[in-house]
């Protein structure tokens, strides 16, 4: 079936798009095992560990809002239905905003600096830097592939006084996040906005990233970054009608105010909304808007950057929707695959004999005793990676120069291989990031390009694993373009 969009005609002034020559019923793949979903009051639903609901029908009436509680792996939300899906109320998977700080806050110092939480499938913002006007006062980086960098103290390269805290960078997704004001003044180390990542096809499905935390000042700390919008896929074998709203907005950063107050965090990026159905109708709200960055009245140097918009994709045999969305969705296509085959993976599995979590959070994922001798052994596992490749590990301390080491060649098989590296770890917190890169044959490059790189042939695959959020895959095309996608695809 052709994936091109063909306008077949206009019926009673309402634009009806029949995608491809002969419409065929789309199969969502739902087993119907979870029955009908028809809440009568606003409710929060616990997301199952695989993130997938298999409904018969879905009916969310006007005035009812459905939210979801993240599962352990923080997967996106996948709602499959054998029958109709009707959304007259609201589904909200947006990221949350961070708390206000100082005189801008509620008087509760305990929540100062706490970042916004990502929606299901989205990532958290970076924590606001503590008060103190020192190197340790920098804000935390936002989590996710497009996380904004945290703010720090001003300096000669920022155009801000050295005692002024700088804001955090906004998170990227559908495009790059905005730099904080201090970055625009010349600083190139902190406060930078996050990069764009992912594919317009939303294969695989991935949510928004967190904004960077604001740097701390002499009197007060900075505010945390906003959380990234979540990611949701809804697929109906019959009609998906949205007259209400589906929201996957990025969270805003909290404001800061008061004497010697800190910088504000960056906004979280919008998340992802993907809708598939035989017939897609209704002109309700579809929004994956960017999270805003709050300001500080004391100085523009304190202000963080806003996040980026997310991504929205519509796929249907027949589309009667005439309204737009935020951001605008690309031209609709006939439904494609709901799930994708698993991408290759790279994982950090242990550090000095301590097992690493399957889903790193970036917050004390591994704690080693202070007397752990150097060098330590860091182990890795891969799937789908040719043996013979090496893994490069980079250690980035909070307040020291980074250090890298290259492993011996992977051993095992393409399906499952392992290697390790010995490296010195400094005292205090550090971020570990592992990468491996290899070229692919032309046939595989064309297949990867069709799925993830807007049709351009992929030449090189780079896997990125970090103890600061989920893994990712960087695809480099023959023309040098780069597409960053999530490594947590499901079969």
For residue 401, count other CB atoms closer than 10 A to its CB. 8
Instruction: Find the Cα–Cα–Cα–Cα dihedral 233, 238, 243, 246, rounded to 10°.
Output: -10
Radius of gyration of the chain (CA): 23
Contact 380, 349 (CB under 8 A): yes
Report yes or no on whether pTM surpasses 0.85. no
The bridge status of strand 376-383 relative to strand 345-351 is antiparallel
- Both tokens of 304, joined, read 């963080």
Helix (H, G, I), strand (E, B) or coil at 256: strand
Per-residue DSSP letters for 30-98? Answer: ---TT--B--SS-EEEEPPTT-EEEES-EEE-TT-EEEEE--TT-PPEEEEESS-EEESSEEE-PPPPP
CA dist 269 and 120 (Å) reads 13
The stretch 8-26 carries a mean pLDDT of: 44
- Both tokens of 25, joined, read 């019923």
Per-residue DSSP letters for 309-354? Answer: --EEEEEEEEE------BSPPPPPBS---SS-PPPPEEEEEEETTE
465 has pLDDT over 70? yes
18 has pLDDT over 50? no
For residue 130, count other CB atoms closer than 10 A to its CB. 19
Predicted confidence (pLDDT) per residue in 213-269, tens digit = 988 877 788 899 999 999 999 999 999 999 999 999 999 998 887 777 788 889 999
For residue 189, count other CB atoms closer than 10 A to its CB. 13
- How many Cα atoms occupy the beta-carbon half-sphere of 189 within 13 Å? 14
30, 177, 204, 219, 362 from 70: Cα distances, Å = 21, 24, 18, 35, 17
**378: left (phi > 0), else alpha (psi -120 to 50), else beta?**
beta
187 has pLDDT over 90? no
The stretch 57-79 carries a mean pLDDT of: 95
11 bridge partner residues: 14
Check residue 189 and give its pLDDT.
Answer: 56
**33: left (phi > 0), else alpha (psi -120 to 50), else beta?**
alpha
Check residue 466 and give its pLDDT.
Answer: 80
Return mean pLDDT, the chain.
Answer: 83
Lowest pLDDT segment from 258-262, 273-277, 344-348, 374-378: 258-262
341: confidence class by pLDDT, cuts 50, 70, 90: low
187, 213, 307 from 192: Cα distances, Å = 9, 11, 11
Nearest to 197 by CA among 334, 307, 362: 307
Chain Cα centroid distance, residue 267: 13
Q: Which is higher by pLDDT, 465 or 84?
A: 84
- Both tokens of 103, joined, read 């005189």
CA dist 39 and 34 (Å) reads 14
| Backbone angles phi and psi of 126, in degrees to 5 | -80, 150
CA dist 292 and 267 (Å) reads 5
CA dist 90 and 276 (Å) reads 18
DSSP 163: T
Check residue 4 and give its pLDDT.
Answer: 34
Predicted confidence (pLDDT) per residue in 400-439, tens digit = 677 899 999 999 998 899 999 999 988 878 888 899 999 8
Contact 106, 100 (CB under 8 A): yes
Check residue 105 and give its pLDDT.
Answer: 72
6 burial type by CB count under 10 A (0-12 exposed, 13-18 middle, 19+ buried): exposed
Check residue 78 and give its pLDDT.
Answer: 95
- Both tokens of 151, joined, read 């703010």
């Amino acid at each position: 079936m052709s994936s091109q969009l063909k306008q077949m005609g206009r019926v009673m002034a309402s634009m009806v798009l029949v995608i491809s020559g002969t419409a065929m019923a789309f199969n969502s793949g739902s087993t119907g095992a979870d029955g009908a979903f028809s809440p009568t009051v606003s409710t929060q639903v616990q997301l199952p560990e695989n993130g997938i609901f298999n409904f018969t029908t879905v009916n969310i009436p006007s005035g009812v809002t459905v939210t979801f509680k993240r599962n352990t792996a923080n997967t996106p939300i996948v709602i499959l239905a054998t029958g109709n899906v009707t959304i007259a109320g609201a589904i909200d998977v947006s990221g949350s905003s961070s708390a206000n700080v100082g005189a801008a806050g509620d008087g509760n110092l305990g929540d100062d600096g706490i970042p916004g939480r990502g929606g299901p499938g989205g990532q958290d913002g970076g924590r606001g830097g503590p008060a103190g006007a020192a190197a340790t006062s920098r804000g935390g980086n936002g989590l996710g592939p497009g996380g904004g960098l945290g703010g720090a103290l001003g300096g000669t390269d920022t155009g801000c006084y050295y005692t002024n805290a700088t804001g955090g960078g906004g998170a990227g997704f559908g495009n790059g996040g905005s730099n904080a004001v201090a970055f625009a003044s010349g600083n190139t180390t902190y406060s930078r906005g996050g990069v764009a990542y992912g594919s317009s096809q939303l294969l695989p499905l991935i949510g928004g990233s967190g904004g960077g935390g604001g740097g701390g000042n002499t009197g007060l700390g900075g505010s945390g970054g906003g959380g990234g919008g979540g990611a949701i896929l809804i697929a109906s074998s019959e009609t998906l009608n949205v007259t209400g709203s589906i929201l996957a907005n990025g969270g805003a950063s909290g404001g800061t105010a008061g004497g010697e107050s800190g910088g504000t965090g960056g906004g979280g990026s919008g998340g992802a909304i993907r809708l598939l159905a035989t017939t897609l109708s209704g002109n309700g709200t579809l929004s994956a808007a960017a999270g805003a960055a709050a300001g500080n009245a004391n100085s523009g140097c304190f202000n963080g950057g806003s996040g980026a918009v997310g991504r929205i994709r519509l796929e249907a045999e027949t589309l009667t929707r005439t309204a737009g969305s935020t951001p605008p969705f690309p031209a609709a296509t006939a439904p494609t695959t709901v799930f994708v085959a698993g991408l290759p993976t790279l994982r950090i599995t242990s550090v000095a004999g301590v097992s690493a979590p399957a889903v790193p959070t970036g917050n004390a994922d591994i704690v080693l005793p202070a007397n752990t001798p150097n060098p330590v052994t860091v182990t890795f596992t891969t799937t789908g990676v040719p043996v013979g490749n090496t893994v490069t590990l980079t250690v980035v301390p909070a307040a020291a120069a980074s250090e890298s080491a290259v492993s011996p060649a992977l051993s095992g098989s393409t399906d499952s291989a392992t290697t390790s590296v010995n490296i010195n770890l400094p005292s205090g917190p550090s971020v570990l990031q592992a990468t491996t890169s290899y070229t692919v044959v032309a046939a595989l490059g064309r297949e990867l390009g069709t799925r993830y790189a807007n049709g351009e042939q992929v030449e090189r695959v780079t896997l990125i694993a970090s103890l600061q959020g989920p893994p990712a895959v960087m695809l480099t095309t023959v023309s040098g373009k780069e597409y960053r996608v999530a490594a947590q695809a499901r079969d």
